[in-house]
């Protein structure tokens, strides 16, 4: 569906959960049969105003049986959505001991917790999502176990928030990977804001191309990718090394546990926040 929409000139897609259908963040009419089907809702944005062409696209999607209800076309006001969102982004608690501070704000003078300066660009990870918070909490915990500053591999670094946190919490060096060029630009900017650019190497290198082993790896991605990368993580961990996995829906953890156990990676601990969970594996 997404491939077809982008091929037709779509400039962005919003994948809604059915539970969000009652919110006022957007307005789309959904018929009763769609509501009863339990399917997901997809909003695609186009810059063109060629309504007949978009109407034809809607009919094509129906003919291919890719939608459970007739798509609705709606003209919306062109706004700078990212700037509007930034206006509502303020100081956020990442962990009990760490705050995320937008680059245009300052921490209160009386605040004693660590502040990470983050500019909310196109890299995932501003401290508001459960998966980032779970990963950050485990990262602080695992770095606290280490007597000597560690090297760290951060897979799917996004905004660079976890790599930056690792350096601030004592890691000597971090290799931070992401396949999204825009995310790496954002991460590089955030490293500069936090004065850690010399200690964090940002790269679009594939995990399969990494040869160095690490005592600690953090990966906040999604379960299917974590499943795919399991053999690589077992290859890259030093004996006794630990692996932090996040981006996992609660119902996905059991299957992932079995996959990693077969590779000698045993889950030591897991935490849940909302519908998400994260865990720490130890390589025996």
pLDDT in tens, 228-281: 999 999 999 999 999 999 999 999 999 999 999 999 999 999 999 999 999 999
The fold of 84-283 is Rossmann fold (3.40.50)
Residue-wise pLDDT tens digits, 4-25: 887 787 777 777 654 344 333 3
Strand duo 12-16 + 41-45: pairing = antiparallel
Joined tokens for residue 141: 């915990």
Q: Measure the N-to-C terminal CA separation of the chain; round to a whole number of Å.
A: 42
Q: Region 200-229: what's the mean pLDDT?
A: 94
Strand partners, 117: 101
Q: Region 71-75: what's the mean pLDDT?
A: 84
Q: Are 127 and 133 in contact (CB under 8 A)?
A: yes
The ranges assigned to domains in the chain are 2-63, 84-283
Nearest to 122 by CA among 165, 81, 82, 88: 82
Environment class of residue 51 by beta-carbon count within 10 Å: exposed (0-12), middle (13-18) or buried (19+)?
exposed
Q: Are 252 and 262 in contact (CB under 8 A)?
A: no
Nearest to 183 by CA among 204, 169, 199, 166: 204
């Amino acid at each position: 569906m997404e491939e077809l929409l982008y091929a037709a000139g779509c400039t962005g897609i919003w994948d809604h959960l059915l539970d969000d259908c009652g919110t006022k963040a957007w307005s789309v009419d959904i018929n009763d049969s769609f509501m009863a089907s339990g399917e997901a809702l997809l909003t695609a944005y186009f810059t063109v105003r060629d309504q007949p062409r978009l109407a034809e696209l809607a009919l094509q999607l129906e003919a291919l049986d890719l939608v459970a209800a007739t798509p609705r076309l709606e003209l919306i006001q062109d706004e700078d959505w990212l700037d509007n969102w930034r206006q509502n982004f303020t100081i956020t608690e990442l962990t009990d001991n760490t705050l995320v501070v937008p680059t245009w704000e300052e921490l209160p003078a009386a605040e004693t917790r660590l502040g990470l300066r983050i500019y909310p660009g196109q890299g995932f990870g501003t401290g508001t999502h459960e998966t980032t918070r779970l990963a950050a909490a485990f990262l602080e915990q695992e770095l606290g176990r280490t007597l000597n500053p560690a090297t760290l591999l951060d897979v799917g670094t996004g905004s660079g928030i976890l790599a930056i946190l690792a350096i601030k919490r004592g890691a000597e060096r971090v290799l931070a990977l992401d396949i999204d060029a825009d995310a790496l630009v954002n991460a590089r900017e955030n490293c500069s804001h936090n004065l850690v650019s010399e200690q964090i190497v940002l790269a679009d290198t594939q995990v399969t191309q990494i040869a160095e082993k690490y005592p600690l790896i953090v990966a906040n991605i999604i379960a299917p990718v974590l499943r795919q990368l399991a053999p690589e993580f077992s290859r890259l961990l030093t004996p006794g090394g630990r692996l932090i996995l996040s981006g996992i829906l609660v119902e996905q953890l059991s299957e992932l546990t079995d996959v990693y156990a077969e590779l000698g990676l045993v889950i030591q601990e897991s935490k849940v926040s909302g519908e998400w969970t994260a865990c720490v594996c130890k390589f025996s």
